[in-house]
A = this chain, B = another copy of it.
């Protein structure tokens, strides 16, 4: 692919896809639009779980088994905090806390999240550009039978076991795209929606005024990668959430959700039979191995998505 690439990204799935993408195209040509709907303030720290998962994955610090956090991290600070009565539901390693300290200090001094993220990403050696979709406060609220839950309370605190009745993106209406976000979408040679949860990972990005509109009006090809394989999410609550929110938990359901926004959808070989129904929506269905088990598989999937971009462009 020639030209620059913009990837709309959630957490683990997006990070692994991006790892493949950065092996296929020059990292400097890639802009990542990161989700901030799952950000939280805890112990006084500003934590951006999705941005950090992308950052750690792409700079080699990720704890690959967990999919988040820093490989081999200790937890001396948090263990002590818990001994002293701090809530125990959210785990933070020492090196990870170091990042949160650096970010929180910058935010306290009035820097926008995008600037703090850029500086930290540069210090960690990230060669792609990582942009939070907005510098304004945007928080995903999960509506459940037990009431409204803040995102991390739903996801980590309660193990995403609640049936999701609805989602709100608090602050989204007034949120402005961070500097560079709309430009990246407008000027990229291709746009990819990473294999992330359409509601809680991609949803907050699309909820920022301007983002969806620019996507609809784009001239560059936009390709999504289905996070649903054989009716299940490889990770996280996407499948159940699709069902409880009235969608079909399948790659076809994903295609319908992204209708009007994408030119092609990369689906897993296990879902090849859904290709005709997806094509019937006017979306090109690209069948590939979407299980990102290792570097080669991640690279292969990125290549399939970028080839699809070239194909629909041609």
**Which residues between 71 and 105 of chain A lie within 8 Å of chain B, taking CB atoms?**
74, 76-87, 94-95, 97-105
Nearest opposing residue in chain B for A43, CB measure? B101
Q: Which residues of B contact A97 (CB under 8 A)?
A: 77, 80-81, 97, 101
Pick from A45, A74, A76, A84 the residue with the most CB of B within 10 Å: A84
A44 interface contact, C-beta 8 A: yes
Neighbour of A77 across the interface among B41, B84, B101, B106, CB < 8 A: B101
Query: With A and B bound together, what is the CA distance between A44 and B43 in angstroms?
Result: 8
A277 to B: closest C-beta gap in Å: 47
Q: Which residues of B contact A123 (CB under 8 A)?
A: 83-85
Identical subunits present: 2
A143 interface contact, C-beta 8 A: no
A124 interface contact, C-beta 8 A: yes
Pick from A82, A86, A98 the residue with the most CB of B within 10 Å: A98
Query: With A and B bound together, what is the CA distance between A107 and B82 in angstroms?
Result: 15
Structural contact, B78 and A101, CB atoms closer than 8 A: yes
Neighbour of A108 across the interface among B41, B102, B103, CB < 8 A: B41
**Which residues between 208 and 245 of chain A lie within 8 Å of chain B, taking CB atoms?**
none
Query: With A and B bound together, what is the CA distance between A95 and B123 in angstroms?
Result: 25
Neighbour of A98 across the interface among B83, B100, B120, CB < 8 A: B83
A46 interface contact, C-beta 8 A: yes
A273 interface contact, C-beta 8 A: no
Q: Which residues of B contact A46 (CB under 8 A)?
A: 44
Q: Which residues of B contact A108 (CB under 8 A)?
A: 41, 43-44
Structural contact, A76 and B94, CB atoms closer than 8 A: yes
**Which residues between 91 and 143 of chain A lie within 8 Å of chain B, taking CB atoms?**
94-95, 97-108, 119-120, 123-124
A280 interface contact, C-beta 8 A: no
Query: With A and B bound together, what is the CA distance between A120 and B80 in angstroms?
Result: 11
A314 interface contact, C-beta 8 A: no
A79 to B: closest C-beta gap in Å: 7
Structural contact, A79 and B98, CB atoms closer than 8 A: yes
**Which residues between 1 and 60 of chain A lie within 8 Å of chain B, taking CB atoms?**
41-46
A78 to B: closest C-beta gap in Å: 7
A121 to B: closest C-beta gap in Å: 9
Structural contact, A95 and B77, CB atoms closer than 8 A: yes
Query: With A and B bound together, what is the CA distance between A83 and B59 in angstroms?
Result: 14
Q: Could you jot down 6 A-B contacts, CB within 8 Å?
A: A44-B46, A74-B94, A84-B98, A86-B98, A86-B101, A87-B105
Binding site for B on A (CB under 8 A): 41-46, 74, 76-87, 94-95, 97-108, 119-120, 123-124
